[in-house]
Chain A
Amino acid sequence: MTQTQKILAARAGKKDVHAGELIMADVDLVLGNDITAPVAIGEFAKFGRGEVFDRGKIALVPDHFTPNKDVKAAEQCACMRNFAEAQNIGNYFEVGHDCGIEHALLPEKGLVTAGDLVIGADSHTCTYGALGAFSTGIGSTDMACAMATGKIWLRVPEAIKVELTGSFNPHVGGKDLILHLIGMIGVDGARYQSLEFTGPGISALTMDDRFTVANMAIEAGAKNGIFPVDETCLAYLRGHGAKSPVAHEADENAEYVRTIGIDLSELKPTVAFPHLPENTREIDSVGDIKIDQVVIGSCTNGRLGDLKAAAEILAGRTVAKNVRCIVIPATQRIWIEALERGYLRTFAEAGCVVSTPTCGPCLGGHMGILARGERAVTTTNRNFVGRMGHVESEIYLASPAVAAASAVLGKIASPDALTR
């Protein structure tokens, strides 16, 4: 069995499972946000159970349209807040107090550990594969059903093995790796399948790199992306007070539909052009593309390592005159740590605006909407038509380092293009 299949077998109480098999599995955590949870709460009532199956295994995170962008968004947050209170759900994370973007927040709070089965009514729930958990996005009705029963039916996926060797060159990281992979296999290249990352190159990836890579597994259509549970992972889990990990390893004779080898030392900064994450180009062949906005943040790239990479480039430099650069630390804790390390001052002095944690502009919600014809370089995860604003705006996906360098030069640029 693959690493994913082993977790699914364990959570379904079975000795083994095979690809294509339908299983009923126990969930360790059910997640919802201010867009998806209100729909799930409405459906939950229809199931006729008064209480959720386990109030300690549900997490509700207001992050998409928060701080509330309008009256309707405020009503959706109120719906979730009231439900959390009525059900006595402790893992509700209020704006300002303990807030953050769900997929950065849950690992930080130690709510996910290796071997867990996590489902979330948000497609980027696959992020927790970085911790050796099986995690996948589902819809609101599935969330409601899991809140009522603690169970979910799943089809056991086939897997693609991604074998990493070598290590990154300067200014290359997790975002470039996952964009490169999506460029190779396409936005449906791993549809219904697991992406299992292995190989000696894994040790070169920081936890922040791994979160970024697992986060965008969905952009290749994957059901989940997953990493081995190594010392880097275990240290992270210990450091964040997570439950005892259960490390599952793929069998030596595990079956994969294909194996893809990637030498990290051959990767270059990579940019995904409009309007699909698969439209990737290496930075050298981007051409001269002027930009209007830069966004550094999101569940993909709003962690401390991402802000560090951007701050190192922006220190002592200024954002180009016609560019708006918006920096969004992903959680309150990251925001405070970025403050203490001086990154926020660096950003502000360079001419960036620093926001409270929110998904905001990533999905065209608020805090940085694009006008007709405008172009943005962003560290987010999707560049679909109209995703960040006007239907005739354009989104270019890139790493924090490329985004910061682009902000300085006013066009899509490599950090190597900067001169002192």
Chain B
Amino acid sequence: MKIRGSVHRFADNVDTDVIIPARHLNTSDPKELAAHCMEDIDAEFSAKVRSGDIIVAGKNFGCGSSREHAPIAIKGSGVSCVIATTFARIFYRNALNIGLPILECAEAAEKIASGDTVSVDLAAGTIRNETTGDVFQAEAFPPFMRELIEAGGLAAYMTRHQPSK
């Protein structure tokens, strides 16, 4: 699958309350959630984000609550991938489980700037900054995880791979 887009940068410890504030958790509709994604740290985010764009952030991205609405809001915004120094563990599971690719890569997280155009190859784990020419290496995704992401998440993947009762 092809991942390529313009970068939106965020700092360390981006928590789930700023990714999607709890006041909007009375819905789980991806479009409704996307309309408020990141609004408490970047009020313009939902207006400026374009399909395919990439979020790059520092350490502990997604810390806080277990709300799956956080990766749903990011994916619903059209974001194709999140690259961070590290991720909080519940967010990490949730993102992959709903089919949002995320990569840990400290060097990329440090050197990629807002507005750069970046492309990602999940099979190889490479992150290419097309604006500067830099190439960074993250852990490659094994085939099952790529298939899970392409299927759109764990539920869809499991129905493909496990006979139902």
B21 contacts the other chain (Cβ, under 8 Å)? Answer: yes
Q: Mark A170-194, 1 if CB is under 8 A from B, else 0.
A: 0000000000000000011001100
Contacts of B27 in A (CB 8 A): 72
Among the stretches A133-141, A230-238, A239-247, A348-356, the one at the interface with B is: A133-141
B137 contacts the other chain (Cβ, under 8 Å)? Answer: no
- Supposing A76-B26, A187-B60, A187-B63 touch, asked if A138 and B90 sit within 8 A by C-beta, the answer is yes
Q: Select B164's contact among A48, A364, A382, beta carbons within 8 Å.
A: A48
Cα-based distance from A70 to B24 in the complex (angstroms):
11
Q: Select B15's contact among A38, A141, A191, A384, beta carbons within 8 Å.
A: A384
Cα-based distance from A36 to B93 in the complex (angstroms):
15
Which of B25, B65, B66, B89 has the most chain A CB atoms closer than 10 A to its own CB?
B66
Cβ contact within 8 Å between B164 and A365: no
Q: Select B68's contact among A64, A139, A191, A365, beta carbons within 8 Å.
A: A139
A196 contacts the other chain (Cβ, under 8 Å)? Answer: no
Q: Mark B9-31, 1 if CB is under 8 A from A, else 0.
A: 00001010110011101111000
Contacts of A43 in B (CB 8 A): 154-155
CB distance from B143 to the nearest CB of A (A): 16
Cβ contact within 8 Å between B155 and A384: no
Contacts of B63 in A (CB 8 A): 187-188, 221
- Supposing A47-B164, A145-B155, A364-B23 touch, asked if A188 and B28 sit within 8 A by C-beta, the answer is no
CB distance from B144 to the nearest CB of A (A): 12
B76 contacts the other chain (Cβ, under 8 Å)? Answer: no
Chain B, 43-75, CB within 8 A of any chain A CB: 59-60, 63-69, 72
Cβ contact within 8 Å between B66 and A122: yes
Cα-based distance from A70 to B154 in the complex (angstroms):
31
Across the interface, name the chain B residue whose C-beta is closest to A76.
B26
CB distance from A31 to the nearest CB of B (A): 10
A363 contacts the other chain (Cβ, under 8 Å)? Answer: yes
Q: Select B90's contact among A72, A73, A139, A145, beta carbons within 8 Å.
A: A139
A201 contacts the other chain (Cβ, under 8 Å)? Answer: no
Count, chain B residues at interface, CB 8 A: 39
Cβ contact within 8 Å between A35 and B25: yes
Q: Select A36's contact among B13, B15, B68, beta carbons within 8 Å.
A: B68
Contacts of A39 in B (CB 8 A): 28, 68-69, 72
A46 contacts the other chain (Cβ, under 8 Å)? Answer: yes
Count, chain A residues at interface, CB 8 A: 47
Q: Mark A93-128, 1 if CB is under 8 A from B, else 0.
A: 000000000000000000000000000111101000
Across the interface, name the chain B residue whose C-beta is closest to A278.
B13
CB distance from A414 to the nearest CB of B (A): 28
Chain A, 117-162, CB within 8 A of any chain B CB: 120-123, 125, 137-142, 144-145
Cβ-closest 5 pairs across A and B: A72-B26, A48-B164, A139-B94, A141-B97, A46-B155
- 27 pairs, CB–CB < 8 Å, chain A vs chain B: A35-B67, A35-B69, A39-B72, A47-B158, A73-B26, A122-B65, A123-B66, A123-B90, A137-B90, A138-B90, A138-B93, A138-B94, A139-B68, A139-B93, A139-B94, A140-B68, A141-B97, A141-B98, A142-B94, A142-B154, A221-B60, A221-B63, A363-B22, A364-B21, A382-B17, A382-B64, A385-B17
Interface residues, chain B, CB within 8 Å of chain A?
Answer: 13, 15, 17-18, 21-23, 25-28, 40-41, 59-60, 63-69, 72, 86, 88-90, 93-94, 97-98, 153-156, 158-159, 164-165
